[in-house]
Structure 1
Amino acid sequence: MPMPDHLTPERWLAQVFSSGEAARGGIVKRQIADVDRIAGRDAFLAEVERRGFQAVQNGRHYVVFCNAWPIRRLR
């Protein structure tokens, strides 16, 4: 799928991490294929780290915890 000309990797990353859910310290989820296609894994994870967030991979998704609170697996 081609990328629209106006959607740069930097703009996409800014949109993901400035969402209301991210601003509230919540969770954002993105498909790995979309991350790789639009921004690249390294740039995505660098932005997660720069913001002090945490990310996990589950199946075909990255789940980003937009806070620095501990993550505890329950099951």
Structure 2
Amino acid sequence: MTALPATISPDRWLCQLFASRAAASGGVVRRSLRDVDRIVGRSRFLHEIERRGFRAIENAGQVVIFCNREPLRSLR
């Protein structure tokens, strides 16, 4: 796991997130909710998710981002 620089701008963090191989291929990425709040803020993060037409869910301090527009279906 690579460590983030001591300070990373919100723009750079978002760029790295959405440029990841999983995000770019329409996959799923996971990030710590603490990092989201600390680095970019939840409001801006959710705005970026919505702007791209993606969806995200939160569970146990993690955010799972579905980087596509496919429907979600709860299995259980």
The TM-score with structure 1 as length reference comes to: 0.90
Which ranges of structure 1 fall in alignment gaps of 5 or more residues?
A: none
Distance 2:58 2:43 in 1: 14
RMSD: 1.1
Please give the alpha-carbon distance, in whole angstroms, between the structure 1 residues aligned to 2:19 and 2:53. Answer: 14
What residue is the counterpart of 1:69 in the other structure? 70
Following superposition, the deviation at residue 58 of structure 1 comes to 1.1
Identity %: 53
Residue 45 of structure 1 is matched in structure 2 by: 46
Name stretches of at least 5 consecutive residues in structure 2 with no aligned partner: none
Number of the residue aligned with 1:35? 36
TM-score, normalized by length of structure 2?
A: 0.89
Q: Which stretches of structure 1, 4 residues or more, deviate above 2 A after TM superposition? A: none
Q: Are residue 24 (structure 1) and residue 29 (structure 2) matched?
A: no
Count of matched residue pairs: 72
